[in-house]
């Protein structure tokens, strides 16, 4: 079993981890609060994080808890790994109690996640995920399935966070009905960031189009993210595409490519 897929379900109904909110909820009425938590912990400190799991369904469920590292790929997909697999792993310092429990219909269970940042040279942000998953529900003449919800947790070391990043690659191509623009952003800081930006298309120094890039795209520590946007169909000629991205740092980052439409 590979580490990247060790948490895969037969069928997983997955909470939207990247979205802010107070609770994540999927099938079977299962939810967890909070769905996302950001906190600061000095080196050498410990903290107990209370998590509340709720069963809003009409049937009892048995819950299994687990910890995981995660990454977000350049295309925005999540990958999950065993705790301690990544340099910025938070859950290598975590434990959870209880690890499994029963939830009657309409009830809640408080779970304690204990985190301890050991003494050492640590800086920036560390992240991890706590999963709560039901045992597969088996019904006659039906496919067995389970539900899974999660809490994503970020911990920063006070006074060590550095927000930085840059556009490292751009590309464009004609897609028939218009022009596709792709921008690759690399997070060179030590904490996650969210992106917003735009592309300005110029011909002979004159702006012919401004295109908004997808807003709110998540890029984890040391990660990369492709942003895509479609522009209108351009008449033949030589053009420049100038991208600017605001990632929350002191300055925006920019990039430019020159291309020709035939």
Residue pLDDT, tens place only, 195-236: 999 999 999 999 999 999 999 999 999 999 999 999 999 999
Same domain, 120 and 174: no
Same domain, 123 and 180: no
Same domain, 140 and 193: no
252 pLDDT tier (thresholds 50, 70, 90):
very high
Q: Is the pLDDT of residue 8 over 60?
A: no
Interval 151-175: pLDDT, tens: 999 999 999 999 999 999 999 999 9
Same domain, 12 and 71: yes
pLDDT of residue 18: 34
Same domain, 189 and 169: yes
136 pLDDT tier (thresholds 50, 70, 90):
confident
Same domain, 25 and 150: yes
Same domain, 28 and 149: yes
Q: State the Cα angle at 183 between 178 and 189, rounded to 5°.
A: 165
pLDDT of residue 146: 80
Locate 205 and state its tokens.
């120094």
Same domain, 172 and 144: no
Q: How many domains does the chain have?
A: 2
Exposure class string for 126-155: b at 16+ Cβ within 10 A, else e: bbbbbbbbbeeeeeeeeeebbbbbbbbbbb
CA 169 from chain centre, in angstroms, equals 21
147 pLDDT tier (thresholds 50, 70, 90):
confident
Mean of all residue pLDDT scores within the chain: 89
- The alpha-carbon radius of gyration of the chain (Å, integer) is 22
From 156, 186, 210, the end of a domain falls on: 156
Same domain, 181 and 101: no
Percent above pLDDT 90 for the chain: 82
Q: Are 30 and 53 in contact (CB under 8 A)?
A: yes
Q: Is the pLDDT of residue 259 over 80?
A: yes
Same domain, 169 and 83: no
From 109, 136, 156, the end of a domain falls on: 156
- The domain of 138 spans 3-156
Q: Which SS3 state, helix, strand or coil, does residue 91 take?
A: helix
From 112, 138, 156, the end of a domain falls on: 156
Same domain, 142 and 245: no
Same domain, 177 and 143: no
Record the pTM: 0.84
Which residue has tokens 């792993």? Answer: 89
């Amino acid at each position: 079993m590979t580490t990247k897929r060790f948490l895969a379900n037969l069928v997983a109904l997955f909470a939207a981890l990247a979205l802010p909110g107070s609770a994540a909820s999927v099938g079977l009425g299962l939810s967890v609060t909070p769905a996302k938590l950001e906190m600061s912990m000095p080196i050498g400190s410990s903290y107990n994080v209370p998590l509340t799991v709720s069963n809003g369904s009409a049937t009892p469920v048995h819950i299994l808890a687990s910890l995981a590292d995660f990454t977000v790929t350049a295309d925005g997909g999540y990958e999950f790994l065993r705790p301690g697999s990544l340099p910025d792993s938070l859950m290598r310092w975590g434990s959870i109690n209880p690890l499994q429990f029963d939830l009657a219909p309409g009830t809640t269970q408080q779970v304690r996640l204990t985190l301890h940042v050991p003494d050492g040279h640590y800086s920036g942000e560390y992240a991890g995920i706590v999963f709560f998953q039901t045992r597969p529900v088996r019904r006659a003449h039906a496919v067995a399935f389970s539900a899974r919800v999660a809490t994503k947790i970020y911990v920063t070391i006070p006074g060590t966070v550095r927000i930085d990043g840059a556009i490292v690659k751009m590309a464009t191509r004609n897609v028939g009905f218009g022009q596709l623009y792709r921008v690759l952003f690399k997070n060179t800081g030590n904490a996650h960031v969210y992106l917003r930006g735009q592309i300005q298309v110029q011909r002979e120094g004159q702006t012919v189009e401004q295109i908004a890039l997808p807003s709110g795209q998540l890029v984890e520590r040391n990660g990369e993210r492709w942003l895509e946007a479609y522009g209108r169909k351009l008449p033949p000629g030589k053009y420049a595409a100038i991208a600017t991205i605001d990632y929350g740092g002191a300055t925006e980052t920019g990039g430019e490519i020159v291309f020709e439409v035939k």
